[in-house]
Amino acid sequence: MEPTSNTKVIKQARQLSMLKIVSRLLAHELHSQSSAKTITLSRDEVIELQTCVDLYIEEVGRRSAGTAGGQLGDPPLVGARSN
């Protein structure tokens, strides 16, 4: 059974959410430091950005590994047997 188109849309939105977070963090810093020609990021801000990018990379890696083995997306769910 193939995933429905609704499931595909949700997975794509979840995948893009990491990039949206990175974009918003950078936009916030640009806005808050608008008077300066250069901006400064704290160590915590850089760690937050790095974490978002790492999560995105991991998710894309998992999806690539799944399709490389001949599978498309997640494996199908199997119903439980009742005895």
CA angle 20/25/29 to nearest 5° reads 145
Task: Report the distance separating Cα 31 and Cα 5, nearest Å.
Answer: 37
Q: Which two tokens stand for residue 82?
A: 């009742």
Residue 76 confidence (pLDDT): 54
Decide if pLDDT at 83 tops 70: no
Higher pLDDT, 50 or 12: 50
Please state, in angstroms and as integers, the Cα–Cα distance from residue 20 to each residue in 17, 38, 43, 64, following that order. 5, 22, 20, 21
Stretch 27-48: mean pLDDT: 87
CA atoms within 13 A on the CB side of 14: 11
